[in-house]
Structure 1
């Protein structure tokens, strides 16, 4: 079965361990090309608080939990749901466009986000009802 390359999925990040510590890195490849145009991180959030709670029209992101753990709930335009736990800096979650996301923050979590777009407020879908309409229109067009 061919994997949908635009589906949310976990990427195993490369790392090297030596006597001086562990180095984890992300380098785009022919298997997964991702041009980083913006980087931000989320920290000092109350345990159990939700972040995200929106979708993007064009933007894709890589989410990496550098410390602690986060629970990520996703719903795509085809109404498929996904649940991921990020609790290791060795894993990145690929979040494609047109996926509603909600991130529940754990104790002392630091979430790094790499984006392929510069910030653009018009790219955000912040109202769940608007996203549900998009899902309905998508289903009707199939």
Structure 2
């Protein structure tokens, strides 16, 4: 997989004086069906999250509150994306090394995933990731 397949996607926004609304539909706004949703919050200052890749899982990362950075690496290219709005998110395809850092106070990161949790889908060692990516 290539980092060029990872992209920021603008989500629909319904503006209203009573408050705005954004929604996400699998296979419509993002390129996969949603099987799992999880979120990160209360991340201590200076901490990072992630530091892994997925063999098959597709993810869509949204900053619901505050801000944070997502670092992507396909073994050849690196990219950093700053997320700070709840009406756009970052699509991350399989076989991309990622980590999140630079969390602001009160940041909330929501992740939509294409599959249920499966530990065997994780690559947690960067050297193993680089070996696997070289065989694709």
Q: Same fold (TM over 0.5)?
A: yes
- Name which of 59, 63, 66 aligns with 1:65: 63
Query: Residue 48 in 1 paired to residue 55 in 2?
Result: no
- Shift of residue 81 of structure 1? 1.3
Gaps spanning 5+ residues in structure 1: where? none
Q: Which runs of 5+ in 2 are unaligned?
A: none
For 2:11 and 2:28, how far apart are their aligned partners in 1? 15
Equivalent residues, number: 134
| Cα distance in 1 for residues equivalent to 2:31 and 2:99 | 25
Shift of 1:29: 4.9
Alpha carbons of structure 1 residues 70 and 16: separation in structure 2 relative to 1, 3 Å = same
Shift of residue 135, structure 1, vs aligned partner: 3.1
Alignment of 1:21-32 (within 5 A): 21-29=19-27, 32=30
Q: Distance in 1 between matches of 2:89 and 2:82?
A: 10
RMSD (CA atoms): 1.9
1:129 alignment partner, SS class: helix
CA distance in structure 1 between the aligned counterparts of 2:113 and 2:27, rounded to whole angstroms: 16
Q: Which protein is bigger by CA-based radius of gyration?
A: 1
Residues 67-116 of structure 1: CA distance to partner in whole angstroms, max 9, x if unpaired? 11010110015x22111000000111001000000100222110000000
Please say which of residues 128-137 and 35-44 is displaced more in the overlay. Answer: 128-137
Q: Look up the SS of the partner of 2:72 in the other structure.
A: strand
Q: TM-score, normalised by structure 2?
A: 0.90
